[in-house]
Amino acid sequence: MLFTIEVNGQQITARRGETILECLLRNGIKVPTLCHMDGYSPTGACRICVVEVEGRNELIPSCSHPVEEWMKIKTHSPKVIRARKANVELLLSNHPDECLYCERNGSCELQNLAFDLNIRERRLNGQKHEYKKDYASPAILRDPSKCILCGRCVRLCETEQEVGAIDFYGRGNTMMIGTSYNHCLSIKNCHNCGQCVLVCPTGALYERQHIPKVQELLHKPEARVLAHLSPTVAASVASAFGLRSGKDLAGLIAAALLKIGFFKVYDTSAAIDIHIMENAALLKKRLEAGENFPLFSSCCPAWVHYFETFYPHMLKHLSPVLSPMQIMGSMLKKNSGTEAANNLVVGIMPCTAKKHEMQRPEMYKGTGMLTDAVLTTRELINLIKLHGVDLENIDPVLPNAPYHVRSTAARLYGVSGGAAEAIARTLFFMLTGQELEPIRISELRNGNLRREVKIKAGKTQIGFVAVSTIKEARKLMDEILGGRRDIHFVEVMACPGGCINGGGQPIGADEKDLKLRVKSLYETDERENIRVAHKSPLVNEFYQKQFEYPGSPTACEFFHKAKNQA
């Protein structure tokens, strides 16, 4: 139902049931916010979005108050601006003055807010909190002194991920956000998905930096630093360089990385193809044996961590295949002949959990780590800027051989549902000897957090489910534990929408950006010829020459987790 209200002396239409903020934004009136998150119930904590409503003494938070017919609203009256300004000044009064050294310098919401509100002088000086940085987690770094307690990370962790690794702690001015018993973030129930980093307005949460490590590696004599680039990263960096969002920059980034000093730059997709083959083979084997269903994907390290923590009795359901990054590491470290000893592998991933994954004890195969450093998309952008590479004036190059050929199925891995689709295609071929028709599985592309499809291969009906976010995964787990039997393969990605929205992706991406990234990945699939992993010449060559067939003992040794680990 529509009605009109008066805002700043003008009539605008409002809908019953919406909040004042929604109404204002819809009508093109911008109100600054801090604790507000789209799609979450408002908490009204930050008081930045306050507006003046005639007849009310106090200022009304527009994010939580429903719009009503009688309202006459002023969004930028002197009283409102004074209040907003004072509240931001209060936040700044005990904020560490470290902007120049801050991870988020330039992309900090608090900084922008202070600038927009024209705060040019420190009028209040408060006692600063001396909190230590939390370096305990291998993936995420906490700096509580920069935290402004907007509570976005807490809400996200609690509601979207249903993990609840962090929560408020203490009260009054000594309140902070911490883990249980206020220990470090290395606790078992943080799965390093990094979604909290994406929503943090300041530099209180960010990934553990690997740039210094990479620079160190680059300067090691005799070292051959090999980078492999995730296709999702390639599709996500464009806007950071002022290019059209979603544009695939794989070639340009490869060129830039070579300029920076990497010995070779590969495409992670080649490893994804192997991941598809191995999983499809495993699934086929299980279908034949008719046991251990459903099979859970293992490409998302956050999900693997979660699964191991909360469903230890079901570990045989978890695919033992390594994640694509580790497959690549395994190939590069162990399959490169005599030079392998000098090979150092840097994964460029849209993910913070990979930083945790690379240092897991079971990932030390043979002599050393499979991956030596992981750069997130954000770090990649920093690295390119740091080394002064001008992307606009260099020519794109193809990834280096031998890992330059891939199927388009591998590129789907960046989107929730993509892994299931890619595996379904290959599995169908393995079971029937024919290609899946139509090859595009639209049920797995519907944009929901849960996507389900049943595929008939010969006489067997195979159920595929793709879920993203831990919350959704948990719901599905409850169904499975409750007796659901029609699912054969479950793909889980911990970040909403899949890796395109991963914890290592550029901060501040909106719905539109995400859609463009997805579109970019899907478009390649429509455009190119090799659309299934089993048709990739590179994969076929590998299996013919060395690994015999997917799931063979040699393949297991290379691409599966060691048997003895849990």
Q: Using CB under 8 A as the criterion, which residues of the chain lie in contact with other proteins when the complex forms?
A: 42-48, 50, 57-59, 61, 64-66, 79, 82-83, 86-87, 90-91, 93-94, 123-127, 148-149, 151, 167-168, 170-175
Of 84 and 425, CB closest to other proteins: 84
Instruction: Single out the residue of 387, 327, 383 nearest to residue 358, CA to CA.
Output: 327
Instruction: Give the span between the Cα atoms of 513 and 518, in whole angstroms.
Output: 9
Looking at residue 476, its amino acid is L
Of 66 and 508, CB closest to other proteins: 66
For residue 381, give every residue at least 6 positions away whose Cβ sits within 8 Å of its Cβ, in sequence order, or none.
Answer: 237, 240, 241, 506
Least distance between other proteins and beta carbon 44 (Å):
4
Count the neighbouring beta carbons within 10 Å of the beta carbon of residue 149. Answer: 16
Instruction: Single out the residue of 6, 58, 560 nearest to residue 285, CA to CA.
Output: 560
Least distance between other proteins and beta carbon 548 (Å):
57
Of 56 and 133, CB closest to other proteins: 56
Of 55 and 337, CB closest to other proteins: 55
Tokens of 487: 């699912």
Of 151 and 194, CB closest to other proteins: 151
Least distance between other proteins and beta carbon 79 (Å):
7
Least distance between other proteins and beta carbon 37 (Å):
15
Looking at residue 555, its amino acid is A
CA distances to 36, 376, 377, 387, 418 from 215, in Å: 38, 15, 16, 10, 33
Least distance between other proteins and beta carbon 245 (Å):
33
Length, in residues, of the chain = 566
DSSP 401: T
> Where does residue 551 fall: left (phi above 0), alpha (psi -120 to 50 degrees), or beta otherwise?
left
Least distance between other proteins and beta carbon 78 (Å):
12
Instruction: Single out the residue of 179, 234, 237, 208 nearest to residue 103, CA to CA.
Output: 208
Of 22 and 167, CB closest to other proteins: 167
For residue 70, give every residue at least 6 positions away whose Cβ sits within 8 Å of its Cβ, in sequence order, or none.
Answer: 55
Least distance between other proteins and beta carbon 441 (Å):
39
Instruction: Give the span between the Cα atoms of 488 and 293, in whole angstroms.
Output: 5
Of 124 and 315, CB closest to other proteins: 124
